[in-house]
Amino acid sequence: MKIEARSLSFSVRGKTLLQDVSLAVQPGETLALVGPNGSGKSTLMRLLSGLAKPSQGDVLLADQPLARLTRREIAQRIAIVEQQADTAERITARSVVELGRTPWLSALKPWSGEDTQHVDKALRTVEMEEFAPREWSTLSGGERQRLHIARALAQRPGLLLLDEPTNHLDIHHQLSILNCIRNLKVTTVVALHDLNQALTCDRVAVLSHGRLVALGAPAQALAPETVSEFFGIKARWARDAAGDAPFLSFQLA
């Protein structure tokens, strides 16, 4: 499902958090959103999800203005995992993932075997099947994060918005979640702090002080000069002894 931001701006109490951001993410594409702390990544995610309304500009989902869709229509199309996502304590891991099916249920369409299958598949994808009966309050930060991602996957969205989905995860689960995200046929926007992980996405958008300052193929959007300028460090391409694809190496300027 295509998502498009047209000249998006967002201000709160006279402070501009996002200014004139335009970009389009094509069906099935994975776009990494990077930028220094406070550059506007979460703000842009919230605007794309419909959780916040732009002060100016429009968000179009599959060429339809988001503002014209009902909450339920949006929930059937867009899943978001926010940065400090948390949920009620007295609930099992499986119930959290089942919440992802809510937008699809109604009096005429109660829970069915198909819903159970989506939940099972989402739990498998994040390698959390064995945790399904556990109570939420007993889970670690990384386990909760994986379940939030499973909840979003169980929703079967056309657009997946993930705000720093790997920040609580060990390296195995960082790589496996990113691999899973890249292989999904779902359009995905993923905010990342690890620029080398961003390099593995289809395209990269760089935000700085609420403005879109680069957008394109990963190696082009994350060229060392761009990274150095907007993150205030010295970046360069490096290669390991195996001679695999180059990666970014950093040091303080």
Ligand X SMILES: Nc1ncnc2c1ncn2[C@@H]1O[C@H](COP(=O)(O)OP(=O)(O)OP(=O)(O)O)[C@@H](O)[C@H]1O
Kindly tell me which residue out of 4, 40, 95, 190 binds ligand X, with binding defined by CB under 6 A.
Answer: 40
Q: Please give the Cα distance from 205 to 143 (Å, whole number).
A: 28
Residue 246: CB minimum distance to ligand X, A: 25
3-class secondary structure, 242: coil
**Mind giving me the DSSP string for 27-89?**
TT-EEEEE-STTSSHHHHHHHHHTSS--SEEEEEETTEEGGGS-HHHHHHHEEEE-TT----S
Sign of CA pseudo-dihedral 50, 71, 1, 200:
positive
37 binds ligand X, rule: CB under 6 A: yes
Residue 38 interacts with ligand X (CB under 6 A)?
A: yes
From residue 204 to residue 243, the character string flagging contacts with ligand X as x (rule: CB under 6 A) and all else as - is: ----------------------------------------
63/66 Cα distance (integer angstroms): 9
Out of 35, 50, 100, 103, the only residue in the binding site for ligand X (CB under 6 A) is 35
Nearer to ligand X, 12 or 253 (CB): 12
Rounded to 5 degrees, what are φ and ψ at 162?
-125, 115
Binding range to ligand X, per CB under 6 A, among 39-47, 120-128, 140-148, 165-173: 39-47
* Using rule CB under 6 A, residue 42 touches ligand X: yes
In the complex, minimum distance from the CB of residue 42 to ligand X, in angstroms, rounded to a whole number: 3
Closest contact distance (angstroms) between CB of 10 and ligand X is: 9
| Residues 230 and 201 sit within 8 Å (Cβ to Cβ) | no
Of 4-23, which residues contact ligand X (CB under 6 A)?
Answer: 12, 15, 17
Quote the CA–CA distance of 101 and 136 in Å, as a whole number: 18
Q: Which is nearer to ligand X, 93 or 152 (CB)?
A: 152
Integer distance in angstroms from the first to the last C-alpha of the chain? 41
Chain positions contacting ligand X, by CB under 6 A: 12, 15, 17, 35, 37-43
